[in-house]
Structure 1
């Protein structure tokens, strides 16, 4: 019962089905039974009515007891767990975590979801609550061509690639990464309530880790594949937290400018200027590529749309 009620989707299905079943049972008892043909059996309708009443009572009692035990159980008594997450539930789980987390760490590839959803949500919550948020962002190093090309080849080979009209290339992967880095840099320049750290990782992985205050979400880059939820307090939550610390130590940390630097990111012409301040290669970027990267900054497209 706890497994069903702890999952929002399963809980809605359970209560909806239970309500529908109750309506059916009550309708049979008070509409169907009275219309029963009395010539079939004198005691038949009465016995059937009693059976329906008994089933209805048992169902109501079961729902009430199960709901009471679930909602009355203190959070501290619920054992930290590791459980699979259906693909369609990953987006909701990530959004739920951003609403309460103070600190967030991403170890990903291009960071599209973080750019489109997580970072704006953290900024919004920081403004509303008045409490600072922090984001530690780990994405692929756009200056290492073999890493970008290798990841592009991997993404073109996953099952969901059949839905993508334009295949990934080393250049498109690089542009996505640069857009994520620039988005985070812009936030560090304009948002005083969020602390951002950016690390450029020299290797790609088939897994992505989102570490929130309450749980970690381990996913693959294929949105059709299930994920894994790892609650805080479990052994593996601490293990993945240490893993992210070690990855950060082996990655290139970017020196983010502050608001006093006078840097702006208001149009495509500012792209190269900001990249130069971050120490990221930019000389080979054409004006067309700068325009594309600048447009990606405000893009809300990601794998879970």
Structure 2
């Protein structure tokens, strides 16, 4: 009974139209109240029904428009569409905020493409990246186990996720930030090291926020600029970054990095940043970090 009452309240205008139209039609057919239901009275009743029907149609259009507007506030995309949406987000933007795991995709695709476009258009670019702290071994171990739980097979880089890979990927993102900072003077880049692992990845440009999951098979969400979700996630990314451990990239400016940085240059850069590499790292390990920094592979291909 409660559901019936609720339905009647929600559709009161439509029910009223049906009742009036039905009553007039039935009484006219029966020939009752002929003195009351003159042709003029019936015409007026018809006009009343049409007016009420117009109100119902207008309300329905308004409801539909509102539903479409709300639906436009968020878009769901799947695996193959993510790269296309990322490319659209990069187009013409001078801002990119990232929060995620180790920044592998950021380093492989987003950062080089954003820098390339900014350089071609001779405009400044600001990048903010929050990644997991490579010196936090328990955190990196937790992240690698999470990635292994999603898939034990190699990703687009040809590698499986392990503790050492996780740490090296984060170190490589830091080194890549130093390298791009030296290569493009109009780049303002900040790196923050998080002590918390997230299963989501956020990318924000001037046109949209893209929220993806580490599992490429899972659906992703896109929030256009100007919508409440965009502003909310923008605030979240700024607030989260402030809570991370900031890397003062300026401290490594005196360490000139070659187009292909050497092992010694990489070690010197990390030392200048106050980020100690594990003592067990050999030159081969550092060379692997350099390779990931300069020639990162798209993990989602």
What's the TM-score, normalizing by structure 2? 0.71
Q: Please list the CA deviations of residues 152-201 of structure 1 after superposition, one character each: whole Å capped at 9, or x if unmatched.
A: 0000001x443546532211100011111101111112211211011111
User: Is 1:245–2:245 an aligned residue pair?
Assistant: no
Q: Please list the CA deviations of residues 123-178 of structure 1 after superposition, one character each: whole Å capped at 9, or x if unmatched.
A: 111111111011001111111001100000000001x4435465322111000111
Local SS of the residue matching 1:236: helix
User: Is 1:152–2:152 an aligned residue pair?
Assistant: no
Distance 1:143 1:198 in 2: 14
What corresponds to 2:202 in structure 1?
Answer: 209
What corresponds to 2:249 in structure 1?
Answer: 256
What corresponds to 1:270 in structure 2?
Answer: 265
What corresponds to 1:97 in structure 2?
Answer: 89
Answer yes or no: is the 8 Å Cα contact 1:123–1:193 preserved in 2. Answer: no
User: Is 1:109–2:109 an aligned residue pair?
Assistant: no
What corresponds to 1:222 in structure 2?
Answer: 215
Local SS of the residue matching 1:195: strand
What's the TM-score, normalizing by structure 1? 0.70
Q: Which runs of 5+ in 2 are unaligned?
A: 1-68
User: Is 1:187–2:211 an aligned residue pair?
Assistant: no
Instruction: Label 1:260 to 1:304 Cα distance change in 2 as closer, same or farther (>3 A).
Output: closer
Answer yes or no: is the 8 Å Cα contact 1:223–1:304 preserved in 2. Answer: yes
Local SS of the residue matching 1:261: coil
Q: Please list the CA deviations of residues 53-79 of structure 1 after superposition, one character each: whole Å capped at 9, or x if unmatched.
A: xxxxxxxxxxxxxxxxxxxxxxxx999
Q: Please list the CA deviations of residues 6-27 of structure 1 after superposition, one character each: whole Å capped at 9, or x if unmatched.
A: xxxxxxxxxxxxxxxxxxxxxx
Answer yes or no: is the 8 Å Cα contact 1:142–1:178 preserved in 2. Answer: yes
Instruction: Label 1:80 to 1:198 Cα distance change in 2 as closer, same or farther (>3 A).
Output: same
What corresponds to 1:119 in structure 2?
Answer: 111
Distance 2:253 2:138 in 1: 36
Answer yes or no: is the 8 Å Cα contact 1:189–1:259 preserved in 2. Answer: no
What corresponds to 1:287 in structure 2?
Answer: 283
Q: May I ask how many residue pairs the two structures share in their alignment? A: 228
Rg comparison, structure with higher value: 2
Instruction: Label 1:259 to 1:286 Cα distance change in 2 as closer, same or farther (>3 A).
Output: closer
Distance 2:81 2:152 in 1: 20
User: Is 1:296–2:289 an aligned residue pair?
Assistant: no
Answer yes or no: is the 8 Å Cα contact 1:134–1:194 preserved in 2. Answer: yes
CA deviation after TM superposition for structure 1 residue 246, in Å: 1.5
CA deviation after TM superposition for structure 1 residue 260, in Å: 5.7
Q: Out of 129, 143, 147, which is 1:137 matched to? A: 129
